[in-house]
């Protein structure tokens, strides 16, 4: 494919990484009519897509050889490096002109390294970071932040339209994931702020259910956090965005800040509390910090009652 050529339903897609978001994004693309080959280290995850008539690749090398566009959504920097530059051998297996749409949340440094390596092999890379949790992925209402060549970004509109409600071009390679770190700083810090507000309200003897319901309707709570209040009220921490992934993203944020010699004291404090949650309840939703703050209040009351 030429850099200016639009991606269409005739384009063959390959998708690597079928986790919480990846599986749902892949399903959206299949439903939109794209022909797709998928791969995941977990054969069971790939089998779920195979039930929809999707081909399952034996490995990432074979997937890369057969498609026009490679999408990937894997866990972290080391996984991206392994897929593209290491044992996965995707870059050297792909045909010149292949588009790469890397959807993982990774460091801007790793993203820029991938861009450079791909361009040297006459491949067309984009970093397209995702904002939104599993319900948004299922509904096709994600928000996307893109980095790379603007013409290549524009050529991928058919893919974006199938999975997202809005997408933004942010600049050269690495800019998409940079914007994601900005957004997730607010997401993580904001969640801790909500948890502390809940703890204060309980300490001031506000009725629990009324506290949760009213706070969710105020203008100071972001939509992403308002939804978490509804599930936390019921004690439901089924993962839409697991605490372990928020922990990973906090690490990326603070590493980027340290590299720039920038102090982020509020983010550091929120990260420490999330880290404790991730250590004991890694597969619960990152909003589990609300439960942890509620427990603090309960322990404090129990201790006061025992005196």
Residue 89 burial (CB count, 10 A)? 16
Report residue 282's pLDDT band, with 50, 70 and 90 as the boundaries: confident
- Which residues of the chain form beta strands (DSSP E)? 12-16, 35-39, 55-56, 69-72, 99-102, 124-131, 142-148, 164-171
| Domain ranges across the chain | 12-173, 180-302
Is residue 4 over pLDDT 80?
A: no
Does the domain at 180-302 match CATH 1.10.3860.10? Answer given as no
List Cα–Cα distances, 240 to 3, 80, 127, 219, in angstroms. Answer: 35, 22, 22, 23
Find the helix packing angle between 175-203 and 289-305, rounded to 10°: 20
Task: Please answer whether residues 170 and 145 qualify as being in contact, where contact means their C-beta atoms are separated by less than 8 angstroms.
Answer: yes
**Looking at residue 285, what DSSP letter applies?**
B
Q: What contacts 190, CB < 8 A, 6 or more positions away?
A: 222, 224, 225
Q: pLDDT of 69-98, one tens digit each?
A: 999 999 999 999 999 999 999 999 999 999
Query: Distance (Å, rounded) from C-alpha 254 to C-alpha 295?
Result: 27
Q: Is 211 in a helix, a strand, or coil?
A: helix
- The count of other CB atoms within 10 Å of the CB of residue 1 is 17
Rg (CA), the chain: 21
Question: What's the pLDDT at 248?
Answer: 95
CA distance 42 to 169: 32
pLDDT, tens only, 187-216: 999 999 999 999 999 999 999 999 999 999
**CA gap 96, 85 in Å, rounded:** 16
Closest CA to 99 of 119, 83, 82: 119
Please enumerate in sequence order all residues whose Cβ is within 8 A of that of 148, keeping only pairs 6 or more positions apart, or say none.
115, 124, 125, 126, 127, 172, 173, 175, 176
DSSP of 60-76, one letter per residue? HHHHHHH-SEEEE--SS
Residue 51 confidence (pLDDT) above 90: no
- Encode pLDDT of 5-49 as tens digits: 899 999 999 999 999 899 999 999 999 999 999 999 998 899 889
Identify the DSSP state of 113. Answer: H
Pick the CATH number of 12-173 from 2.40.37.20, 3.90.1150.10, 3.40.50.720, 3.40.50.800: 3.40.50.720
Q: Tell me the backbone φ, ψ of residue 145, rounded to 5 degrees.
A: -125, 120
């Amino acid at each position: 494919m030429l850099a200016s050529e639009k991606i269409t339903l005739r384009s063959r897609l390959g998708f690597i990484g079928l986790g919480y978001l990846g599986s749902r994004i892949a399903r959206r693309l299949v439903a939109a009519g794209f022909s797709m080959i998928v791969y995941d280290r977990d054969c069971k995850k790939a089998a779920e897509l195979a039930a929809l008539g999707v081909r399952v690749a034996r490995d990432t090398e074979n997937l890369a050889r057969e498609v026009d566009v490679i999408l990937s959504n894997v866990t972290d920097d080391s996984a991206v490096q392994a897929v593209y530059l290491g044992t996965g051998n995707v870059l050297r297996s792909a045909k010149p002109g292949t588009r790469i749409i890397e959807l993982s949340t990774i460091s801007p440094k790793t993203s820029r390294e991938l861009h450079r390596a791909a361009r040297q092999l006459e491949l067309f890379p984009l970093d397209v970071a995702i904002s939104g949790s599993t319900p948004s992925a299922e509904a096709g209402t994600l928000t996307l932040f893109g980095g790379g060549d603007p013409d290549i970004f524009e050529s991928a509109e058919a893919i974006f339209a199938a999975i997202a409600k809005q997408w933004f071009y942010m600049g050269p390679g690495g800019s998409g994931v940079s914007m994601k770190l900005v957004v997730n700083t607010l997401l993580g810090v904001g969640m801790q702020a909500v948890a502390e507000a809940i703890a204060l309200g309980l300490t001031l003897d506000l009725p629990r259910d009324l506290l949760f319901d009213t706070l969710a309707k105020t203008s100071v709570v972001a939509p992403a956090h308002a939804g978490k209040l509804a599930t936390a009220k019921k004690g439901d921490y089924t993962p839409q965005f697991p605490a372990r992934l928020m922990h990973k993203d906090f690490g990326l944020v603070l590493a980027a800040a340290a590299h720039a010699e920038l102090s982020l004291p509020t983010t550091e404090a929120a990260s420490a509390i999330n880290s404790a949650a991730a250590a004991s309840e890694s597969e619960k939703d990152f909003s589990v910090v609300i439960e942890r703050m509620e427990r603090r209040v309960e322990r404090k009351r129990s201790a006061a009652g025992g005196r």
